[in-house]
Structure 1
Amino acid sequence: MNDDAPDLRARNKQATREAISHAALRLAIEQGPHGLALVRVHDIATAAGVSSRTYNNYFSSRAEAICAFQADQAGRVGQALRARPAGEPLDQAVIAAVIVLYTDPEPDKAGLRMIMSTPELEGEALRAFTMAEGPLAEAIAARTGTDPQRDLFPAVTAAAVAAAIRVAGRRWLEPGNTESFAAILRGALSCVVPAAPPEAPAGESVRQRPAR
């Protein structure tokens, strides 16, 4: 039995998913500001070299197809954090993980602008970010020794990281901006990620501390 077969199938499926997503985004950009409404499933499938049936096996909507790369990228943030050296302070580990994931290579400005300027696409991207917060919160909890079921810290920090990435994207797209996405993203993350969880008084978790 070939042990590599499942991995090969997974890679082929991911390659097909990416081909469809890239084709969908490219066609939407070519159609202009209202590209989402104008691009057709048949055109996306043809551009990706697959059948419409194959397209439907991967995506339930054009918005989902267009935002698939962003969804997959967001879903890898937790894994990227787990890959960082164990002794790294949380802020350094998160910033390094996110910077590498989101800036190597730098995002496609035209594609990001299309997504962030189209309400349906922006909503789909936001849904993907929200779904990715769970795995990131678990990675933060594992690194900091906190309990994701009891402490607020991992989930709040994960949500703040997702928000910082979105804010950095908007700032990068502003007219006249000359900073690299990496520089803006680093600054945004530095605003929200602490070096370690806040210390709770004895007998209390972060979740249990009363507001002051």
Structure 2
Amino acid sequence: MATEDGGLRERKKRETRLALSHATIRLALERGFDNVSVEDIAAASNVSERTFRNYFTSKAEAVVAAHTERGHRIVEVLRERPTDESLWDALVNAVVAQFEPPPDRAGTPREDRYTSALQKLLTEPAVQHEVFRAHLTSQDELIVAIAERTGTEATDLYPQVVAAVISTGLGTAMAHWTRDPTQSLVSLLHEVFDQIRAGLPDPR
């Protein structure tokens, strides 16, 4: 019972965290990042400013929360993958699962105007700093999960190299997608990871 209660509390905390993040992004896209205050975000989310600060130290951290959550989910899904599945397949499946569109939105293109505004938001120096921090945190968590799955230590070279390759592949696919959001991000991810799996053969 205690475990169930703890799991429920953790789930609710994550839901609240994401709700605050979504509110921050929505207001920042509507008004501009500098024109949104913590008070505005709290009011839009029907919580107190204190509640916001219990979850985030800044607006920029709130903007990046979905990216941070995605990193947590990749690690969780990796740990849930079948033990007889190859490491690479398990990793690719764990990553791609975070970008599969919901059934009711499959095939629905994102508006160019929204994508353009989001790209501009991600160029904010404070947001870029938080993206970098989230990337490092996610990679560290992935190293631990890979070490567990392969019977190695997190301080060993192998899990560190594999985690770095996965992180770089994911970042490359996302950067490519933001330049042309009409593409399927899931397809891009598969293409990137297929090239890595093949040993990056000469394109000629």
TM-score range (shorter-chain normalised) is 0.7 to 0.9
Aligned residues: 190
Q: Does 1:185 align with 2:189?
A: yes
Q: TM-score scaled to structure 2, two decimals?
A: 0.81
One-letter code of the match for 1:183?
S
Could you tell me how far 1:152 is from its partner in structure 2? 0.8
Aligned residue in 2 for 1:51: 48
Quick check: 1:165–1:185 contact (8 Å CA) kept in 2?
A: yes
- Look up the SS of the partner of 2:25 in the other structure: helix
Matched to 2:179, the amino acid is E
Q: 1:48 to 1:114 in 2, by over 3 A?
A: farther
- The answer to which of 35-44 and 57-66 deviates more is 35-44
**Aligned CA distance change for structure 1 residues 2 and 160 (closer, same or farther; 3 Å):** closer
AA aligned to 1:98 is V
1:78 aligns with 2:75: yes
Give the distance between the partners of 1:3 and 1:98, measured in 2 at CA: 27
The offset of 1:2, in angstroms, is 6.7
| TM alignment of 1:5-154, pairs within 5 A | 5-31=5-31, 35-105=32-102, 110=115, 113-149=119-155, 151-154=156-159
Change (3 A) 1:6 1:142: closer
Q: Which runs of 5+ in 1 are unaligned?
A: 196-212
SS in 2 for 1:101: coil
CA contact (8 A) 2:24 2:62 kept: yes
Q: Identity, % of aligned pairs?
A: 37
Structure label with greater radius of gyration = 1
Alpha-carbon distance, 1:62 to partner: 0.4
Which one of the candidate residues 173, 193, 200 is aligned to 2:178? 173
Amino acid at match of 1:163: T
**CA distance in 1: counterparts of 2:197 and 2:153, whole angstroms:** 18
Q: Relative to 1, partners in 2 of residues 1:148 and 1:161: Cα closer, same or farther, differing over 3 Å?
A: same
Q: Distance in 1 between matches of 2:193 and 2:166?
A: 6
On the 8 A contact 2:24/2:41 being kept in 1, the answer is: yes
Counterparts of 2:197 and 2:147, CA distance in 1: 13
Structure 1 residue 91 displacement after superposition: 1.7
Q: Tell me which amino acid in the other structure corresponds to 1:154.
A: P
Preserved CA contact (<8 Å) 1:130 1:159? no
